Every structure is written in structure tokens, then in C-alpha cells.
Structure 1
């Protein structure tokens, strides 16, 4: 084989490697597109649900699914109408609720309905028993703005333009004080880290909490001044509510022991180094 043939062979191998790398890049880009679309749809729904904040609703975005450390819930709302667990979907095509069944095209999406019911049951399990019956599931279709329907299992399905009205239409079952208490409880139960790093690949940080505006002065609770920081009452530990220790935002952790007592680790390391020096350089000549 001549020099020219060797160069041609090397050029061919290089071209094949480039082609393989390009295919892998295309596959990686294709794999990230659904995640990007889901993140955009969750953001759209989150912005829409924000319209409920001035109307007495508390909003929690992208929080932990109780009992499933590696799963999350898109949105959980607490307000006068109870607790609403919102599962965000970004389905395309024809989506409808017909005869109590959720359809996408010609396929019945019963699994999505069962998933919404499972999310509702998980949140109900951490709510105080008197209020468990007030937890409701809702599927929000980000790409179907005008859709609204209710399945046979009582799961509401609403598009982005109908979701606020559907939640507002719920009958009032909670007063403002109870709403604040439930919000504080769910804030603690759903926003603490359950397993290190499980949300590293999410586009939204876990435990993003949006408090509602202060209720009017005639709503049974004193109105807060504009711009003030409103913190819901923390139930079960009255002293913690005043100190701010009862409710900590997601991601806030106490310093590890090694940080709080850094000198202990350094002392042990120095002692180990001294022992190694003694064993290697002094002990062999001991007694000579």
C-alpha cells in the first residue's frame, strides 16, 4: 500500500467518525426536544395559574410526589375551593372528552386519567384527614386552550384558557386561615429534598412557591401592606412561625457536620499523617 493509499484510508476513517458523531448529536438533540416542550408548556400553565394568586390561591410549582422520590407534581394549588393537583400535558392533535373518556385522536388516554388520580391520592395522603376529600385532580392541556370536560372518574380536563375559570368555579369550602395552614403543611411536605440530585435534569427548580396576594381587609384577616413579605402561618409549632424556622424553602439545608466542625476532620487527618511517617521512617530503625 502506497503513501497515497494510506492517506485515503485515514481520510475515510475520519469521515466515518465525523458521521457517527453527527448522528449521535442529532439523536441527543431529538431526545431533548420533548423535555424542552414540556418545560415550555409547564411555564405557560404556571403563568396562567398565577392569575389565581390575587384571588386568594396559593401556588406550588414542580414539587415532589409523595411516596415517589424520583417523580414530581407539576402544580399544586391551595385556595378557597380546596386543593387542586394540576397535571400539565402538551398533547397535540384532536383532544376531547367524550362520554366521560379522554381521547387523543382515536386513542383513549385512560392512563393519563389514572395518573392524575394517583397524584391526587398521593397529595391526599399527606393532608390532614378532615381535608382529604377536598383534594381534586385536574389535567391542563397546554396546546388545547379552549378544551374543557370532566371524565367519568371526576377528573377535570381544561385548556389554558379555561383552567382559571374551572378552578374559580369550585365552591368555597375553606376559609383564609385554613387555606394558609394547608399551604404551610404542603409547603413543608412537598418541597423538601427527598433524594439528592433527583431534580438535576429538571428545567424548573423544585419547590418554587408563589404566595397569593394579601386578602382584603373585610375577608376575615388583616390586610398586609403592599410590598411586605407575607408568610403563611406554620401549624404545629407556633414558636417557629415567629422565628422563621418552621418553614424553609426547598434547597435550604443545615450545614453538614463536617462544615460545622471542620477542625475535627483536619485534626484526624494530621494524626493519621503523623502515624504514617512514624511507621515508615522511624519504626524500622527503632532499637538499632
Structure 2
């Protein structure tokens, strides 16, 4: 069976959903997907209470990093920087204001909402810098998708996906989420797949195992409920991401800087 994804912004979520159901039977064209590495069993813990373990050293030699030019340095990215380039192709400020006054919806509304959500979460993450955390934004992937934020620090690496649903009631299960009781959306499954991807990429360039956890952050919502069995993805509202700040015991300061030096290379993600 062949599935064609026509709307690129949904690509990551659709692929995650297919992978959740098909497992190893899924391949992606034109580039075949890499064999999925076994995912370690999720520790038995409540969200917000991580296990602490020192990363193990790997036996194989890590790959060499490509040269880093200013134009390919992701440390220069601001929150939502990739969405800005897409949104600039949409209606002008005047047109948007007119549509808002007339209460007219647009296909661009979700892009502008996503941009605002990434900026708000990005501001919260930047506040963790004094605690030894480093953050990168808008990491483009070779499949056309992107990683909203990557947080690197003493508590490990967190792949962060933001969702802006103003005034909504959100429920999150093991793989799916529902917004205002609507159709299931593969938010949790997509976050897990993204963390697996990040772990594989960083693992190629590090001499130690890099602990990566998925995080799903909701912006502007009225209420948030999690399934009792949801332990594999950290689920937060935007102001709750500060809970990541005190986490420690996963990476040394030297390892934090090395992981950041790898992650800031645009080409390591596009080659994956």
C-alpha cells in the first residue's frame, strides 16, 4: 500500500501514526527509512520525576562533524524562525487584520498560531540558561519537517514539540490526543518518533549514549488531562516547562557542550 502525504506540515504526525501501527513494515520514499533502533523500556515513573543515569560510553568511534559555517549554525535561530519563512508567503499584516475584523478564517491561521506558540515556549526555555541548559530552535529535518526546540542540559536532552490551541480542553493518551473532544491526533506518537530520531542523529557524533526524552507543550489551553498510562512523553503547559530546570545527573557540563556543538550543525540533521 502506498500513502501520499500532500500537506507537508502534517507529514511528521502522519508518519508517526503509520509507524505506530505498522512498525517495521513502514518504509518512506524516496529515501528508505533507517531501521528503527530498539527503544529502551520506559522507566516506571510519574511525569516530572526522571531516573538518573550516567550516559554509557560507546565502543565505536563517533562520526566526524562537517565544517560549520555561520549560515549553517542553528545557534543563530530564534524561536519560530523556520515558521517565519513560511508565514511570510501568507497574507500581509493588513489582510490579516481585515480578516480578523471580519472573523474570516484562513488556511494560514494554523501557521501563525504555531509561530506564536513556538515563540512563547522559546521564551520559557531561554530562562533555563542560568541552570546550565542550552536550547536550539527550528531544527529542519531532511523530510521537510522540523524540531521546534531542542533543550540540552544536566538532565539530558529533550525534544520539544509545541501545540497552540487557544482556550481548548486537551486530553493526551499513550499515542493520541484529543482537542475539545475532537478526532484523535497523533501528537504523543509523533513526539516519541521525534525523540527517537534525535537520539539516532546525536548518537552518530557522540562517544557516549545521549539520553533523549520527548516533550509535548501546549500553549494557551484552558485545561489539560493526561491518561494514567502516559509515562513515555512529558506533557506540559507552557509555564510548566520550568520543571525541567532542576533536573540533573544525566550529562556532565562537558557532555552538554559537546552535544550542543553537534546539534547546532544544520547538516547533521539534513543528512539523517
TM, length-normalised to structure 1: 0.50
C-alpha distance in 2 between matches for 1:58 and 1:181: 11
Q: In the alignment, which residue of structure 2 is the partner of 1:51?
A: 127
Matched, 1:76 2:154: no
C-alpha distance in 2 between matches for 1:156 and 1:145: 18
Q: In the alignment, which residue of structure 1 is the partner of 2:5?
A: none
Residues 24-63 of structure 1 mapped to structure 2, 5 A cutoff? 30-63=106-139
**C-alpha distance 41-141 of structure 1, shift in aligned 2 (>3 A):** same
Residues 1-288 of structure 1 mapped to structure 2, 5 A cutoff? 30-65=106-141, 67-68=142-143, 70-92=144-166, 93-97=168-172, 102-107=177-182, 109=184, 111-128=186-203, 130-132=208-210, 134-144=211-221, 147=224, 149=226, 152=230, 154-165=232-243, 167-188=244-265, 190=266, 194=270
Aligned residues: 167
C-alpha distance in 2 between matches for 1:87 and 1:193: 16
Deviations 1:58-94 (CA, angstroms, capped at 9, x unpaired): 10010122x42x1111000110011100001012421
Q: Secondary structure at the match of 1:131?
A: coil
Q: Which has the higher contact order (CA 8 A, sep 6+)?
A: 2
Q: Secondary structure at the match of 2:200?
A: helix
C-alpha distance in 2 between matches for 1:176 and 1:147: 34
Q: Secondary structure at the match of 1:30?
A: coil
In the alignment, structure 1 segments of 5+ residues that lack a partner are: 1-21, 196-288
C-alpha distance in 2 between matches for 1:193 and 1:119: 12
Given that 1:144 and 1:160 are in contact with CA atoms closer than 8 Å, whether structure 2 keeps it comes out as: no
**C-alpha distance 172-107 of structure 1, shift in aligned 2 (>3 A):** farther
C-alpha distance in 2 between matches for 1:37 and 1:192: 29
In the alignment, structure 2 segments of 5+ residues that lack a partner are: 1-94
Q: What displacement does 1:172 show? A: 2.0
Q: In the alignment, which residue of structure 2 is the partner of 1:216?
A: none
C-alpha distance in 1 between matches for 2:249 and 2:223: 25
C-alpha distance in 2 between matches for 1:82 and 1:193: 19
Deviations 1:71-120 (CA, angstroms, capped at 9, x unpaired): 11100011001110000101242113468964323246451111111111
**C-alpha distance 111-180 of structure 1, shift in aligned 2 (>3 A):** same
